[in-house]
Amino acid sequence: EDSAQAMATASRLMQFFNLLPKLPGKHAAPMLSLAVEAIAESGLWRRGVLLPQLVGGKARWLRGFSWPQLFRFAHERLPQEMRFRLWKCSLQLCVSDPELAPFAEVPWALASIVKEAPPGAADLLREAVALGADSAALSPLLARIPPEQRDAPPPEGVPRHLLARDQAQKVERECRACLQEQGVDIASWAPADVQAPDTLPPHHRAKMQKAGAGPKKRGNEPIVPPSTWSDMVGAQATPQRQPQAQQQPPQEPQQDAKRRRCTAKTRDVDRSLPLCDAAA
Protein backbone atom coordinates (compact mmCIF):
# COMPACT_ATOMS: atom_id res chain seq x y z
CA GLU A 1 0.00 0.00 0.00
CA ASP A 2 2.80 2.39 0.90
CA SER A 3 4.55 1.54 -2.37
CA ALA A 4 1.40 2.21 -4.41
CA GLN A 5 0.89 5.53 -2.64
CA ALA A 6 4.50 6.52 -3.24
CA MET A 7 4.18 5.70 -6.94
CA ALA A 8 0.97 7.72 -7.19
CA THR A 9 2.63 10.69 -5.49
CA ALA A 10 5.65 10.43 -7.78
CA SER A 11 3.36 10.31 -10.81
CA ARG A 12 1.54 13.48 -9.73
CA LEU A 13 4.83 15.26 -9.10
CA MET A 14 6.09 14.25 -12.54
CA GLN A 15 2.91 15.62 -14.12
CA PHE A 16 3.33 18.83 -12.14
CA PHE A 17 6.90 19.43 -13.27
CA ASN A 18 6.06 18.51 -16.87
CA LEU A 19 3.26 21.09 -16.78
CA LEU A 20 5.34 23.99 -15.46
CA PRO A 21 7.44 24.59 -18.63
CA LYS A 22 4.23 24.65 -20.68
CA LEU A 23 2.59 27.50 -18.78
CA PRO A 24 1.63 30.39 -21.10
CA GLY A 25 3.34 33.73 -21.04
CA LYS A 26 6.58 34.49 -19.20
CA HIS A 27 5.75 32.59 -16.02
CA ALA A 28 6.85 29.10 -17.07
CA ALA A 29 10.59 29.42 -16.44
CA PRO A 30 10.31 31.34 -13.13
CA MET A 31 7.75 28.87 -11.80
CA LEU A 32 9.96 25.91 -12.69
CA SER A 33 12.97 27.52 -11.03
CA LEU A 34 10.99 28.40 -7.90
CA ALA A 35 9.66 24.85 -7.64
CA VAL A 36 13.17 23.38 -7.61
CA GLU A 37 14.39 26.03 -5.16
CA ALA A 38 11.45 25.29 -2.84
CA ILE A 39 12.42 21.62 -2.74
CA ALA A 40 15.92 22.62 -1.68
CA GLU A 41 14.99 25.35 0.82
CA SER A 42 12.26 23.36 2.58
CA GLY A 43 14.44 20.31 3.16
CA LEU A 44 12.35 18.16 0.86
CA TRP A 45 15.54 17.45 -1.07
CA ARG A 46 16.35 14.83 1.60
CA ARG A 47 13.78 12.60 -0.08
CA GLY A 48 16.39 12.28 -2.82
CA VAL A 49 19.05 10.87 -0.47
CA LEU A 50 20.09 7.29 -1.15
CA LEU A 51 19.61 5.22 2.01
CA PRO A 52 20.15 1.48 2.58
CA GLN A 53 16.97 -0.47 3.35
CA LEU A 54 16.21 -4.15 3.78
CA VAL A 55 13.79 -5.29 1.06
CA GLY A 56 12.94 -8.97 0.70
CA GLY A 57 15.89 -9.94 2.84
CA LYS A 58 18.33 -8.00 0.68
CA ALA A 59 19.91 -4.60 1.27
CA ARG A 60 18.85 -2.04 -1.34
CA TRP A 61 19.64 1.65 -1.72
CA LEU A 62 16.40 3.59 -2.22
CA ARG A 63 15.32 7.20 -2.56
CA GLY A 64 12.09 9.09 -3.16
CA PHE A 65 13.30 10.89 -6.29
CA SER A 66 16.49 11.62 -8.20
CA TRP A 67 17.97 15.07 -7.63
CA PRO A 68 20.28 14.78 -10.70
CA GLN A 69 17.28 14.03 -12.94
CA LEU A 70 15.28 16.91 -11.48
CA PHE A 71 18.26 19.25 -11.79
CA ARG A 72 18.89 18.30 -15.42
CA PHE A 73 15.18 18.54 -16.27
CA ALA A 74 15.04 22.13 -15.01
CA HIS A 75 18.49 23.08 -16.33
CA GLU A 76 17.58 22.10 -19.89
CA ARG A 77 14.36 24.15 -19.81
CA LEU A 78 15.59 27.34 -18.18
CA PRO A 79 17.28 30.24 -19.98
CA GLN A 80 20.95 30.91 -19.35
CA GLU A 81 20.29 33.77 -16.93
CA MET A 82 18.09 31.59 -14.69
CA ARG A 83 20.40 28.59 -14.46
CA PHE A 84 22.48 30.52 -11.94
CA ARG A 85 19.65 30.08 -9.42
CA LEU A 86 19.77 26.29 -9.83
CA TRP A 87 23.51 26.22 -9.22
CA LYS A 88 23.08 28.49 -6.22
CA CYS A 89 20.46 26.32 -4.49
CA SER A 90 22.45 23.15 -5.27
CA LEU A 91 25.70 24.52 -3.86
CA GLN A 92 23.80 25.82 -0.85
CA LEU A 93 22.89 22.20 -0.08
CA CYS A 94 26.58 21.27 -0.27
CA VAL A 95 27.31 23.98 2.30
CA SER A 96 24.32 23.28 4.57
CA ASP A 97 24.89 19.52 4.76
CA PRO A 98 28.23 18.52 3.18
CA GLU A 99 27.95 14.96 4.56
CA LEU A 100 24.45 14.23 3.23
CA ALA A 101 24.46 16.15 -0.07
CA PRO A 102 26.72 13.59 -1.84
CA PHE A 103 24.21 10.82 -1.10
CA ALA A 104 21.60 12.90 -2.94
CA GLU A 105 24.18 13.10 -5.76
CA VAL A 106 24.12 16.91 -5.72
CA PRO A 107 27.80 17.31 -6.74
CA TRP A 108 27.27 14.66 -9.41
CA ALA A 109 24.35 16.64 -10.85
CA LEU A 110 26.63 19.66 -11.22
CA ALA A 111 29.42 17.57 -12.73
CA SER A 112 27.10 16.21 -15.42
CA ILE A 113 26.41 19.68 -16.89
CA VAL A 114 29.52 21.57 -15.79
CA LYS A 115 30.38 22.55 -19.38
CA GLU A 116 27.04 24.38 -19.54
CA ALA A 117 27.65 26.23 -16.28
CA PRO A 118 26.11 29.72 -16.23
CA PRO A 119 28.13 32.90 -15.69
CA GLY A 120 28.96 33.29 -12.02
CA ALA A 121 29.05 29.55 -11.31
CA ALA A 122 32.82 29.62 -10.74
CA ASP A 123 32.45 32.23 -8.01
CA LEU A 124 29.73 30.12 -6.39
CA LEU A 125 32.00 27.07 -6.38
CA ARG A 126 34.81 29.01 -4.72
CA GLU A 127 32.44 30.46 -2.15
CA ALA A 128 30.88 27.07 -1.38
CA VAL A 129 34.30 25.56 -0.68
CA ALA A 130 35.21 28.53 1.53
CA LEU A 131 31.99 28.00 3.53
CA GLY A 132 32.71 24.35 4.26
CA ALA A 133 31.52 22.35 1.26
CA ASP A 134 33.54 19.31 0.20
CA SER A 135 36.56 20.81 -1.53
CA ALA A 136 37.68 17.51 -3.07
CA ALA A 137 34.27 17.04 -4.69
CA LEU A 138 33.76 20.58 -5.99
CA SER A 139 37.24 21.86 -6.83
CA PRO A 140 37.63 19.63 -9.94
CA LEU A 141 34.46 21.18 -11.37
CA LEU A 142 36.04 24.62 -11.34
CA ALA A 143 38.73 23.57 -13.83
CA ARG A 144 36.12 22.20 -16.24
CA ILE A 145 34.04 25.35 -16.52
CA PRO A 146 34.71 26.92 -19.96
CA PRO A 147 37.29 29.73 -19.67
CA GLU A 148 34.97 32.32 -21.21
CA GLN A 149 32.42 31.66 -18.43
CA ARG A 150 34.84 31.14 -15.55
CA ASP A 151 35.27 34.84 -14.77
CA ALA A 152 31.95 36.10 -16.13
CA PRO A 153 29.78 38.01 -13.62
CA PRO A 154 26.50 36.47 -12.44
CA PRO A 155 23.17 37.80 -13.76
CA GLU A 156 21.84 40.97 -12.18
CA GLY A 157 18.95 40.85 -9.75
CA VAL A 158 19.93 37.50 -8.20
CA PRO A 159 21.57 37.33 -4.75
CA ARG A 160 25.15 36.34 -5.44
CA HIS A 161 26.28 35.00 -2.10
CA LEU A 162 25.58 31.72 -0.35
CA LEU A 163 24.53 31.50 3.27
CA ALA A 164 26.73 30.07 5.97
CA ARG A 165 25.67 26.68 7.33
CA ASP A 166 23.98 27.99 10.48
CA GLN A 167 22.15 30.72 8.56
CA ALA A 168 20.91 28.25 5.93
CA GLN A 169 19.69 25.85 8.60
CA LYS A 170 17.82 28.70 10.29
CA VAL A 171 16.12 29.63 7.01
CA GLU A 172 15.09 26.01 6.51
CA ARG A 173 13.59 25.79 10.00
CA GLU A 174 11.57 28.94 9.37
CA CYS A 175 10.38 27.60 6.01
CA ARG A 176 9.29 24.30 7.55
CA ALA A 177 7.48 26.13 10.35
CA CYS A 178 5.55 28.23 7.81
CA LEU A 179 4.57 25.11 5.90
CA GLN A 180 3.46 23.45 9.13
CA GLU A 181 1.18 26.42 9.85
CA GLN A 182 -0.42 25.90 6.45
CA GLY A 183 -1.07 22.23 7.22
CA VAL A 184 1.90 20.83 5.27
CA ASP A 185 3.69 18.32 7.49
CA ILE A 186 7.03 18.44 5.71
CA ALA A 187 8.69 16.56 8.58
CA SER A 188 6.68 13.41 7.81
CA TRP A 189 7.94 13.47 4.20
CA ALA A 190 11.55 14.47 4.79
CA PRO A 191 12.77 14.55 8.41
CA ALA A 192 15.47 17.08 9.16
CA ASP A 193 17.62 14.59 11.06
CA VAL A 194 18.51 12.20 8.22
CA GLN A 195 21.98 10.81 8.84
CA ALA A 196 24.50 10.08 6.11
CA PRO A 197 25.26 6.35 5.64
CA ASP A 198 28.68 5.02 6.58
CA THR A 199 29.33 3.37 3.20
CA LEU A 200 28.83 4.21 -0.47
CA PRO A 201 26.09 2.61 -2.58
CA PRO A 202 27.38 -0.19 -4.84
CA HIS A 203 26.50 1.65 -8.05
CA HIS A 204 28.58 4.62 -6.89
CA ARG A 205 31.56 2.33 -6.51
CA ALA A 206 30.88 0.82 -9.93
CA LYS A 207 30.78 4.26 -11.53
CA MET A 208 34.03 5.18 -9.82
CA GLN A 209 35.68 2.12 -11.30
CA LYS A 210 34.29 2.88 -14.76
CA ALA A 211 35.47 6.49 -14.51
CA GLY A 212 38.98 5.29 -13.80
CA ALA A 213 39.19 6.55 -10.24
CA GLY A 214 40.17 3.17 -8.89
CA PRO A 215 42.75 0.57 -9.77
CA LYS A 216 42.13 -1.60 -12.78
CA LYS A 217 41.65 -5.31 -12.54
CA ARG A 218 44.65 -7.34 -13.61
CA GLY A 219 44.39 -11.07 -13.98
CA ASN A 220 42.69 -12.56 -10.95
CA GLU A 221 43.19 -9.49 -8.74
CA PRO A 222 39.96 -8.11 -7.27
CA ILE A 223 38.67 -4.68 -8.24
CA VAL A 224 38.85 -2.36 -5.23
CA PRO A 225 37.34 1.02 -6.16
CA PRO A 226 37.88 4.12 -4.01
CA SER A 227 35.70 4.36 -0.93
CA THR A 228 35.24 8.14 -0.85
CA TRP A 229 32.63 10.13 -2.68
CA SER A 230 35.13 12.87 -3.48
CA ASP A 231 37.20 10.46 -5.58
CA MET A 232 34.15 9.58 -7.66
CA VAL A 233 33.21 13.19 -8.46
CA GLY A 234 36.81 14.06 -9.16
CA ALA A 235 37.12 11.13 -11.54
CA GLN A 236 33.99 12.17 -13.40
CA ALA A 237 35.08 15.81 -13.56
CA THR A 238 38.58 14.99 -14.83
CA PRO A 239 38.76 14.22 -18.55
CA GLN A 240 40.18 10.80 -19.18
CA ARG A 241 43.23 10.47 -21.40
CA GLN A 242 42.37 8.60 -24.56
CA PRO A 243 44.67 5.64 -25.23
CA GLN A 244 46.83 5.95 -28.30
CA ALA A 245 46.04 3.60 -31.11
CA GLN A 246 48.65 0.92 -31.46
CA GLN A 247 50.15 0.47 -34.86
CA GLN A 248 49.29 -2.92 -36.28
CA PRO A 249 52.02 -4.86 -38.07
CA PRO A 250 51.48 -5.27 -41.78
CA GLN A 251 49.49 -8.33 -42.69
CA GLU A 252 50.94 -10.84 -45.05
CA PRO A 253 48.89 -11.33 -48.21
CA GLN A 254 46.54 -14.28 -48.05
CA GLN A 255 46.22 -16.49 -51.03
CA ASP A 256 43.15 -18.36 -49.94
CA ALA A 257 39.77 -16.53 -49.94
CA LYS A 258 38.54 -18.58 -47.00
CA ARG A 259 41.55 -17.53 -44.90
CA ARG A 260 40.86 -13.86 -45.76
CA ARG A 261 37.29 -14.19 -44.48
CA CYS A 262 38.50 -15.74 -41.23
CA THR A 263 41.00 -12.92 -40.75
CA ALA A 264 38.25 -10.32 -41.28
CA LYS A 265 36.07 -11.99 -38.66
CA THR A 266 38.96 -12.01 -36.21
CA ARG A 267 39.53 -8.27 -36.69
CA ASP A 268 35.84 -7.57 -36.06
CA VAL A 269 36.05 -9.42 -32.78
CA ASP A 270 39.15 -7.43 -31.80
CA ARG A 271 37.31 -4.16 -32.39
CA SER A 272 34.32 -5.10 -30.23
CA LEU A 273 34.02 -3.82 -26.66
CA PRO A 274 34.92 -6.08 -23.76
CA LEU A 275 32.00 -7.67 -22.00
CA CYS A 276 32.45 -5.56 -18.88
CA ASP A 277 32.23 -2.29 -20.89
CA ALA A 278 29.23 -3.40 -22.88
CA ALA A 279 27.31 -4.32 -19.75
CA ALA A 280 28.21 -1.19 -17.82
Taking alpha carbons only, the member of 212, 229, 214, 180 closest to residue 277 is 212
- Distance from C-alpha of 17 to C-alpha of 7, rounded to nearest angstrom: 15
Instruction: Report pLDDT digits (tens) over 214-253.
Output: 444 434 433 333 444 445 455 444 444 444 444 454 454 4
Instruction: Report pLDDT digits (tens) over 76-117.
Output: 999 988 999 999 999 999 999 999 999 999 999 999 999 999
* Rounded to 5°, angle at Cα 150 from 77 and 74: 15
H-helix segments, 79-152: 80-96, 106-112, 121-130, 135-144, 147-150
Against a cut of 0.75, is the pTM above it?
Answer: no
- Distance from C-alpha of 250 to C-alpha of 269, rounded to nearest angstrom: 18
Question: Above 50 in pLDDT, residue 43?
Answer: yes
